[in-house]
Copies of this chain bind each other. A is one copy, B any other.
Amino acid sequence: MKRIGMLTSGGDCQALNAAMRGVVKGLSENVDELEVYGFLNGYKGLIYGDYRLLTSADFSGILTKGGTILGSSRQPFKQMRVPDANGLDKVEAMKATYHKLNLDCLVILGGNGTQKTANLLREEGLNIIHLPKTIDNDIYGTDVTFGFQSAINIATDCIDCIHTTAASHNRVFIVEVMGHKVGWLTLYAGVAGGADIILLPEIPYDIEKVIAAINKRTKAGKGFTILAVAEGAISKEDAALSKKEYKEKVAKRKYPSVSYEIADRIFKETGVEVRVTVPGHTQRGGSPCPYDRVLCTRLGSAAAKAIMDENYGNMVAMVNGKIKYVPLGDVAGKLKTVDPNDQMIKEAKRIGISFGD
């Protein structure tokens, strides 16, 4: 007999359902009795005891279903120790819910922030298993996170579509890819889509070098240029500002995002028409790709094994192509960003992709 709780927290992504299906299938095939408590809308459901008792039928047929059947919400780690409007201590409330339901463990699917709270709950004595979810691929200690490949596919489709229209009209196009702090998604989608210029949060750009790269293409007779720009791309000037100065500058910016600002600069300096495309939240949506479905089925199945083995306190991760259990204490709070000297950056530069640096 096992009683497990489950929740999905933070920005949603593809394959959350696939991962939960893996956990529940793994358990229901191997455990005599199973009770699954699905907490609604992330940690909120755990805090306020808002849950549904789920049966294995709830997890049937959801392998390919986008989103999360449990709902999600963002509950910043920093707020976890701050009492809510009614004075409720959220951490104590979560522990109370856990103990009241007499859970064997809590399976938590989420990204970096979620992981920090998961680790906190572990420190508070709860049995925790974390599954690394995020389109950003920025979780430390795993080769890859789920949602990442599905998001790459959508952003790349977008660049593919832009390619044909760009070629027909001799224009500059900017595709704005999700990622405020981390550029993995932009890097992979940019390389996969054949972008000419890729701007990442981790490699501040020099607008003159961006323009030089465009002009180089024009001189070579290539009438169009495609830029894959991360939401968090930043110029060298802005990167030199203090956090406060930068925030003030952004607040005053008349453009809805940095892509529009870059577009404006390029147009002013080259006279070439620039178009901006913002696929936005589509990058989190739709059916998970086969890669993510395999990944999540494996992670979920391995989580089920951990529960049967009472092996708690870990993130179930992919390490060098093998499933590993990585202690949450070793990874929580760490971020995996793009190293400007990463092998893949060098490979991209070698074939002529500019990073504006």
Binding site for B on A (CB under 8 A): 8, 11-12, 14, 16, 22, 25-26, 29-30, 41, 61, 63-68, 71-73, 143, 149, 152-154, 156-158, 160-170, 173, 188-189, 191-194, 223, 254-256, 260, 275-286, 289-291, 293-294, 297-298, 300-302, 304-305, 320-323, 343-344, 347-348, 350-352
Q: What is the CB-to-nearest-CB distance from A83 to chain B, in angstroms, rounded to a whole number?
A: 22
Smallest Cβ-Cβ distance to A318: which chain B residue: B321
**How many angstroms from the CA of A16 to the CA of B14 in the assembled complex?**
26
- Residues of chain B within 8 A of A255, CB atoms compared: 256
Q: Chain B: which residue is nearest A25 at the CB level? A: B351
Contact in complex: A347, B297 (CB < 8 Å): yes
Is the Cβ of A154 less than 8 Å from the Cβ of B161? yes
Shortest distance from the beta carbon of A219 to any chain B beta carbon, whole Å? 15
Q: Which residues of B contact A352 (CB under 8 A)?
A: 25, 29
Whether A161 contacts B322 in the complex (CB less than 8 A), given A192-B290, A280-B275, A348-B301, comes out as: no
CB pair B285–A164 under 8 Å, yes or no, is yes
Question: Across the interface, which residues of B come within 8 angstroms of A321, CB to CB?
Answer: 143, 320-321
Please determine whether B67 and A165 come into contact, CB atoms closer than 8 angstroms: yes
Pairwise interchain contact B281-A279, C-beta atoms closer than 8 A = no
Question: CA of A300 to CA of B277 in the docked complex: distance in angstroms?
Answer: 29
Q: Which residues of chain B are within 8 angstroms of A30 by Cβ–Cβ distance?
A: 350
Query: What CA separation (Å) do A279 and B278 show in the bound complex?
Result: 6
- Tell me how far the C-beta of A158 lies from the nearest C-beta in chain B, rounded to whole angstroms: 5
**B162 with A282: CB separation less than 8 A:** yes
